């Protein structure tokens, strides 16, 4: 039999080194459960009292009351209003890893506020013993997440049993140590929030530049133009297909064989498969990683895509978003929902075309051409004919591209900084809470 691990975190503040183990309590010993809204129909939502949505609980460890929805509550209804310290939980999700997400009311609501029907709340018996600031981290700790994931049941949608949930055991330190941990992690969250705000400002600045450096609907010149090009005349209109390299056989392809990839073709390492999820909104999303063998990639040579090339999404929300394959991915296989564009760089600036494709005007144009109700899709033939308004000279294209390229580098560096801070927080969370028993 394995020896039971001590309920002591790896990282501990010096003044708590001699405090011994954390206590272990079942969740039902911490508080009572409170149900969300009951007896509501679609007609009740949109006006009335505030209520916390499922998305709010799922997205954040604390509740922002400004993001609440509205629901009509009649005077004779017996509904449960939320209060400071309540810990809100999601009961189901599409994956086991996303069940039981928690969000805490750090402050008291300024008005009567309720909880959506698809969540429930744990109301602590004592906010002195279970500090709200600590709860937001305890219920996102590796210890809790591993425990709750093990309880998830289902096939197409995963759920947790409230009875099993309430019997989960969690490590709880004394109040002073709770305060210290919460203070440390909340300070780091404030730093992350400040850097995230800076990132948002950079992205807003880029949007403003795009509106001014590209002509608006019905115009042939931009609002702001570099002075050396002021006498170069109006911009010209070209189809997207006219900007591609016609000397490359597959310069503009939708990857017709990408859909032939089966689960048996996937490997742990090898040639990266570019999925729809990797095509971010103007940036490459590296979070989703699947691979295939070099032999399979050779079979699908027409679907190969290389570093520095542009790839568009022909479906999704939004449709027609574009990104550039990063330099660290020399060769990839493109899935069937991506479209590869190889720009003729003798006549056009690749980064200018990329920036133009991500502009509001072109994105709206692609959206109008897309079909479908629940999920938009655009065909290869329609994308080829998308009209682009651009400078007549390569020099002006390059000047504008250089401006956007420099700004995108700042945005990328800021996003990297945030990722590093989040990674640091993840390490702290692993160290500041005891590890789960084997």
Q: Do residues 273 and 292 touch, judged by C-beta distance below 8 A?
A: yes
Helix (H) / strand (E) containing 180: helix 175-213
Pick the CATH number of 174-221+393-438 from 3.30.420.300, 3.30.1330.10, 1.10.260.40, 1.10.287.1120: 1.10.287.1120
The candidate with the shortest Cα–Cα distance to 318, out of 264, 282, 268, 267, is 282
Distant-in-sequence, close-in-space partners of 368: CB < 8 Å, separation ≥ 6: none
Q: Note the pLDDT of residue 287.
A: 84
Percentage of the chain beyond pLDDT 90 is 68
- What mean pLDDT is predicted for residues 8-22? 93
Q: Note the pLDDT of residue 372.
A: 82
Distant-in-sequence, close-in-space partners of 175: CB < 8 Å, separation ≥ 6: 128, 129, 131
- Name the band, by pLDDT with cuts 50, 70 and 90, for residue 340: confident
Q: pTM for the full model?
A: 0.83
Query: 14-173 has which CATH code?
Result: 3.90.220.20
- What mean pLDDT is predicted for residues 403-419? 95
- What mean pLDDT is predicted for residues 409-418? 96
Convert the pLDDT of each residue in 254-308 to its tens digit.
544 444 677 788 899 999 999 888 998 889 998 889 999 999 999 888 888 999 9
Q: Note the pLDDT of residue 257.
A: 40
CATH 1.10.287.1120 segments of the chain:
174-221+393-438
Order of all β-strands in the sheet with 331-334 = 266-267, 291-292, 271-274, 331-334, 304-306
- What mean pLDDT is predicted for residues 379-401? 92
Q: What is the secondary structure of 332-345 as a DSSP string?
A: EEE-TTEEEE-B-T
Query: 236-390 has which CATH code?
Result: 3.90.220.20
Percentage of the chain beyond pLDDT 70 is 95
Cα–Cα separations (whole angstroms), residue 40 to 33, 119, 404: 20, 14, 49
Q: What is the secondary structure of 384-422 as a DSSP string?
A: HT-EEEE-SSHHHHHHHHHHHHHHHHHHHHHHHHHHHHH
CATH 3.90.220.20 segments of the chain:
14-173, 236-390
């Amino acid at each position: 039999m394995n020896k039971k691990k001590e309920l002591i975190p790896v990282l501990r503040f010096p003044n708590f080194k001699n405090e011994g183990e954390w206590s272990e309590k079942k969740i039902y010993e911490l508080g009572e459960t409170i149900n969300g809204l009951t007896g509501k129909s679609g007609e009740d939502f949109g006006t009335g009292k505030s209520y916390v949505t499922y998305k709010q609980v799922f997205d954040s460890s604390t509740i922002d009351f400004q993001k609440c929805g509205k629901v009509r509550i009649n005077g004779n209804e017996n509904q449960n209003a939320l209060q400071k310290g309540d810990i809100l939980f999601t009961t189901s999700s599409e994956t086991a890893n996303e069940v039981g997400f928690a969000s805490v009311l750090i402050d008291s609501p300024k008005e009567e506020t309720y909880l959506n029907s698809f969540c429930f709340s744990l109301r602590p018996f004592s906010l002195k013993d279970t500090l709200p600031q600590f709860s937001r981290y305890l219920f996102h700790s590796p210890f809790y997440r591993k425990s709750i994931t093990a309880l998830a049941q289902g096939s197409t949608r995963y759920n947790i049993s409230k009875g099993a949930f309430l019997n989960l055991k969690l490590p709880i330190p004394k109040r002073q140590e709770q305060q210290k941990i919460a203070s440390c992690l909340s300070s780091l969250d404030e730093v992350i929030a400040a850097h995230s705000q800076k990132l948002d400002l950079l992205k807003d600045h880029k949007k403003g530049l795009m509106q001014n450096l590209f002509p608006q609907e019905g115009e042939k010149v931009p609002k702001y133009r570099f002075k050396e090009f002021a006498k170069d005349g109006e911009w010209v209109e070209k189809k997207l297909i006219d900007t591609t390299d016609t000397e490359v056989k597959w310069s503009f392809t939708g990857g017709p064989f990408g859909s032939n990839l089966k689960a048996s073709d996937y490997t742990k390492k090898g040639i990266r498969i570019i999925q729809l999820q990797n095509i971010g909104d103007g940036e490459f999303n590296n979070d989703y990683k699947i691979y295939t063998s070099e032999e399979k990639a050779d079979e699908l040579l027409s679907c190969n895509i290389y570093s520095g090339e542009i790839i568009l999404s022909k479906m999704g929300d939004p449709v027609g978003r574009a990104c550039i394959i990063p330099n660290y991915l020399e060769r990839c296989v493109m899935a069937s929902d991506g479209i590869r564009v190889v720009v003729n760089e003798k006549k056009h600036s690749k980064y200018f075309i990329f920036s133009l494709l991500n502009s509001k005007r072109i994105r709206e144009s692609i959206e109008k051409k897309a079909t479908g109700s629940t999920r938009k899709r655009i065909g290869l033939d329609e994308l080829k004919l998308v009209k682009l308004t651009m400078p007549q000279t390569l020099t002006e294209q390059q000047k504008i591209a250089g401006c956007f390229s420099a700004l995108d580098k700042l945005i990328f560096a800021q996003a990297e900084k945030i990722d590093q801070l989040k990674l640091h927080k993840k390490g702290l969370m692993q160290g500041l809470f005891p590890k789960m028993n084997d």
